[in-house]
């Protein structure tokens, strides 16, 4: 294993073309929507030949499915427990990260939107997305449960659901270019819901 030193030494980014292809697909999806994602454009954007896209991803469907999984995983990681921090700080950090510079980029928001649209149009994508949504909800409810042990599991899930409504609204509204002040107030609102007595 690990004998590809010669090749990876050539050019730092020439390695792992599969990842480059996936990244190109994500770029195109966020910029031009699903109709901008065609095999030739992906190949061009990734700097590889057309055939290689179908070599690593059997289908166009598989490619898009991989993109969907990649974003969903990223989302779920937002509410992953962080053992370094006390529970209430974990929760607060997770809630504030939603409006952080990492997420409030057009690229990410646009990706989320287009993937939601895809999930709505194709049932199989919808199932993948619904599963990720549930995992996110579970993660958030668990964070709430840790920060406020006096709440029952059902109460935690209820608050998590309410928070997600506001968060989804923030993501969407941020894309429409609403003022930052409104986003800040909405963040505060999610914290109110989470930490309410």
Partner DNA sequence: AGGTACATTGAACAAGTGTTCAATAGTGCT
Partner DNA sequence: AGCACTATTGAACACTTGTTCAATGTACCT
Number of residues counted as binding DNA (CB under 7 A)? 24
Give the H/E segment covering residue 179.
none
**Position among 23, 31, 33, 38 found at the interface with DNA (CB under 7 A):** 38
Instruction: Write down the least CB distance from residue 92 to a second copy, Å.
Output: 19
Q: How far is the CB of 165 from a second copy (least distance, A)?
A: 4
Establish if 122 lies at the interface with DNA (CB under 7 A): no
The listed partner (DNA, a second copy, none) that binds 17, CB under 5 to 8 Å by sort, is DNA
Which of residues 64, 68, 186, 194 is near a second copy by CB under 8 A?
A: 186
Q: 77 is written with which tokens?
A: 């990681």
- The correct pick among 13, 19, 49, 130 for binding DNA (CB under 7 A) is 49
Count of CB atoms situated within 10 Å of the CB of 64? 20
Asked if 87 interacts with a second copy (CB under 8 A), we say: no
């Amino acid at each position: 294993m690990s004998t590809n030193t010669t090749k990876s030494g050539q050019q730092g980014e020439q390695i792992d073309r599969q990842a480059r292809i996936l990244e190109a697909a994500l770029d195109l999806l966020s910029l031009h929507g699903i109709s901008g994602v065609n095999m030739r454009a992906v190949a061009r954007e990734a700097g590889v030949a057309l055939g290689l896209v179908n070599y690593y991803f059997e289908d166009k469907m598989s490619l898009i499915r991989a993109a969907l999984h990649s974003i969903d995983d990223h989302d779920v990681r937002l509410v992953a427990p962080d053992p370094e921090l006390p529970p209430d700080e974990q929760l607060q950090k997770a809630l504030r990260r939603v409006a952080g510079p990492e997420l409030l980029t057009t690229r990410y928001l646009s990706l989320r939107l287009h993937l939601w649209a895809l999930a709505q149009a194709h049932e199989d994508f919808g199932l993948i997305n619904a599963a990720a949504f549930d995992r996110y909800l579970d993660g958030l409810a668990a964070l709430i449960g840790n920060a406020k042990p006096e709440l029952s599991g059902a109460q935690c899930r209820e608050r998590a659901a309410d928070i997600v409504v506001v968060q989804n609204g923030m993501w969407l509204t941020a894309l429409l270019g609403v003022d930052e002040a409104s986003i800040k107030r909405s963040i505060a609102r999610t914290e109110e819901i989470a930490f309410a007595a």
